Structures are given as C-alpha cells and as structure tokens.
Amino acid sequence: MSDSIDTRTGWMPNDVLNDVRDRVPLVYVDAVPVRVDEEGNVTHVGMLLRQAADGTISRMVVSGRVLLNERIREALIRHLEKDLGPLALPRIPPEPAPFTVVEYFQDPSISGFHDPRHHAVSLAYVVPVSGECQPTQQALELTWFTPTEAVSDRVRREMTGGHDRLIRLALASVGVLP
C-alpha cells in the first residue's frame, strides 16, 4: 500500500483511502476560529456554512485530515488557510495543545460526534485569527457569532455531527461559555 501514497503530499487515491477508512481511524484536526479583544478574551466565534459529511448544509468549524509526515501545526495552518483564506493570519503556537480530543463514529449513538464516512480521532483547537477572512469555494459563507449567539438554539439547529457540542466545549475551554 505504501506504493499508492504520494509522499510529496500525503494524499492517497480514493480507492486506497476508502479501504483505509474501513479499517482504521483517521487523524483529523478541528479548529474553532475566534476573534479576541485586546485582553485576549474571545469575543466572536467563526463558523462555516458548508456541506457536511452527511450531505446536509450545516454550520461547522474548520476541520480536516492530518497528512502523512505532516506536523499538527502545519495541518492546522493548511486547513485554516484553505477554509478562511490566506490572509486569516491564525495565531498558532509552535507546539499547539488541543483543548479536547473528539472521536467521530459512523454510529452517532456512540459519542454524539458523527461522521458517516469513517471513524476519526480529531484534536480540537481554539485558534485566534487576526486577519481578513475570505472563505474559499469549499464554504458557502463564514459567519462570526458572539459566544451567546454561537450556543443559541437557532445556531445549534444549523449544526450536525456534534459540532454544536464542540463549540460549547471550545467556549468552556476559554472561559466564555454563556
């Protein structure tokens, strides 16, 4: 199988990826983009509107696979720039530490985090961004919510796969869960 991996990019052909998805959990990163005030307090949470793994259009955080031989920090930067644009200017420390580990399962009853494609283990981060965010073609839009709005029933109904819980965990980790 190693002959099927492009070692320059870490991508596998779809048939190989589907075979791997059927056999082992994949490593992902989830990044909750936030805006902070001059004292470092979270004032807004950014959420993308795009097609989820289950085919629905929903609000979600920045998320994606960690590639072969890719550092976690590099994966975070790559996904943040891919989804928020190259001028988002994420502030990621040299050795980032996740606020939680999320386990996505094909069966939504196992953990409450659901991905119909596979079992994935995701390291989740709150990432301050200070630049101009321009969502790319993968996202329909990027909306900034106050912490209170982000956990409101209206916004929670727009999320699938457990992302509503992930937002609550992220806000709790930085001390601003309403």
* pLDDT at site 11: 66
89 close to 130: Cβ distance less than 8 angstroms:
yes
Domain residue spans in the chain?
25-173
CATH of domain 25-173: 3.90.79.10
pLDDT of residue 101: 98
What is the mean pLDDT of the segment spanning 169-176? 97
Contacts of 128 (CB under 8 A, 6+ apart): 33, 34, 35, 36, 90, 91
- Strands 26-36 and 120-128, by their bridges, are parallel
pLDDT tens digits, residue range 9-29?
566 788 887 777 777 889 999
pLDDT per residue as tens digits for the range 33-45: 999 999 999 999 9
Q: Report the SS3 class of residue 164.
A: helix
Say what the pTM is. 0.88
Per-residue pLDDT, averaged over 81-90, amounts to 92
Whole-number average pLDDT of the chain: 90
Using CA atoms, how far apart are residues 87 and 158, in angstroms rounded to an integer?
27
Task: Give the rounded percent of residues in the chain with a pLDDT score beyond 90.
Answer: 71
pLDDT tens string 97-106: 999 999 999 9
Q: What is the phi/psi pair of residue 162, to 5°?
A: 95, 5
